[in-house]
Amino acid sequence: MMCSCPRRRPSTERGRTAELTHHTAVLVGVSGVETLLTEGGTQQTADTMEPSSAPAHRGHVLWQRVLLAVSLLTFWNLPTTTQLSIESVPVNAAEGTDVLLLVYNVTEDLLGYGWFKGEKVENSQQIASYIVSSQVNVPGPAYSGRETIYANGSLLFQNVFQNDTGYYTIIVTTNHFDSKAASGQLRVFPKLPTPVVTSNNLNPLEHEDTVVLTCEPETQNTTYMWWINNRSLPDSTRLELSEDNRTLTLLHVTRNDTGPYVCETQNPVSAGRSDPFTLNVLSKLPTPVVTSNNLTPWSTKDTVVLTCEPETQNTTYMWWINNRSLPDSTRLELSEDNRTLTLLHVTRNDTGPYVCETQNPVSAGRSDPFTLNVLCPSTWTLTRGYQAGHDFLAQANLGRPSLEPRLGGNSCSCLERLRITIL
């Protein structure tokens, strides 16, 4: 409906300038400054307009109706029931995406729409209005540059932020100046980053220390969950969860509490799991003991494997021979973790003693000395060319240690001589 009125000087009533700019009959402000947009000329309040013709008279009646609508809306609160309804598409939006507040049950013969931030109609919270006849969006005080009103009244938000979360209200005005309103909710959630498990103690001592694991970072409206060895948390008096489940406390850790631990985060638009986190639970080491796979090896024949017992996690193993570190030798081999020492083709020089040492960040220990009993094979050698009635010499290696082994020798020099007379 058009209103054609002559241009007049602005008038001031109760300190308020009555000149209005723009056109067309759509209401763009209520609960404060009420403005009527009209098409085709300057807008004025009804008390400044004088009828000069039949069209002017009709325009005067129009202004009266508009002012009546304005008066009603000024003191109007949102109705408890309405045919209008608003749906957020999607219901839960990820930050940075677009959201449409879709309006249902909009009547025909419309003058325009007005969208407001919040559940109440306040001029300062007006986002924009839409003029149906000209299909124009008119920005309001709360317009951010990301909102667009469509011809069906729906409001598009582009690149939403978390602070866009809240209620929004639409006012629909017909050409008969009937107004209806509805409110709907916009929910915006962040896309969650990949969580990380942190610990207040990277090397806890078994049976003594308490460990607090935390799922980082902390985010709002997030659900936290924990997994141990790919299973949900067992019932245990030594496991405690914070009220928001973001921290997991392990009381008096044991070597069975190493994990791995995984924390999971969820919100309505995303989810994530941390990398597995394993605890390095330390124990006070027991006194080590040297064991052998062969207690009486034969010289130059047998290979001996010495082992430092017991096997413990996160432990450093070291070996000593004759109170010295291991010499460079092709006949000495260490396992990857240094817990076993292999002696290839032992000799009388490999008797030892051997000592193994264990260390971890909280304790250390040394074994008692271990000595090998290396045996020598027994052999007899008879001299040739003996004659009857004469003595001959028999020489034997008897398989027991020589009191004076040869320098650098690999055999047992344990010689006994017998004088035998052949009759």
> pLDDT tens-digit profile of 187-217?
999 999 999 999 999 889 889 999 999 999 9
What is the pairing mode between strands 391-398 and 378-382? antiparallel
Torsion of CA 248, 254, 256, 258, to 10 degrees: 50
> pLDDT tens-digit profile of 36-69?
333 333 333 323 333 333 333 343 334 333 433 4
Asked whether the predicted pLDDT for residue 243 surpasses 50, the reply is yes
The pLDDT, as a whole number, for residue 312 is: 86
Q: What average pLDDT score do residues 296-303 get?
A: 88
**Distance between CA 80 and CA 225 in Å, rounded?**
40
The pLDDT, as a whole number, for residue 109 is: 84
| Domains assigned to the chain | 12-74 (no CATH), 85-189 (2.60.40.10), 196-273 (2.60.40.10), 289-366 (2.60.40.10), 378-421 (no CATH)
The pLDDT, as a whole number, for residue 55 is: 39
The pLDDT, as a whole number, for residue 335 is: 95
- Burial bucket for residue 303 (CB in 10 Å: 0-12, 13-18, 19+): middle
Whole-number average pLDDT of the chain:
77
The tokens for 149 are 């009103």
Q: Which of 78, 97, 107, 89 is nearest to 170 (CA)?
A: 78
Q: Which of 136, 86, 90, 95 is nearest to 116 (CA)?
A: 86
The pLDDT, as a whole number, for residue 388 is: 60
Asked whether the predicted pLDDT for residue 146 surpasses 70, the reply is yes
Residue 176 pLDDT grade (very low, low, confident, very high; cuts 50, 70, 90): confident
The pLDDT, as a whole number, for residue 409 is: 38
The better pLDDT of the pair 18, 365 is held by: 365
The pLDDT, as a whole number, for residue 44 is: 32
The pLDDT, as a whole number, for residue 383 is: 54
The pLDDT, as a whole number, for residue 336 is: 94
> pLDDT tens-digit profile of 61-79?
343 334 334 434 433 444 4
Q: What average pLDDT score do residues 125-154 get?
A: 94
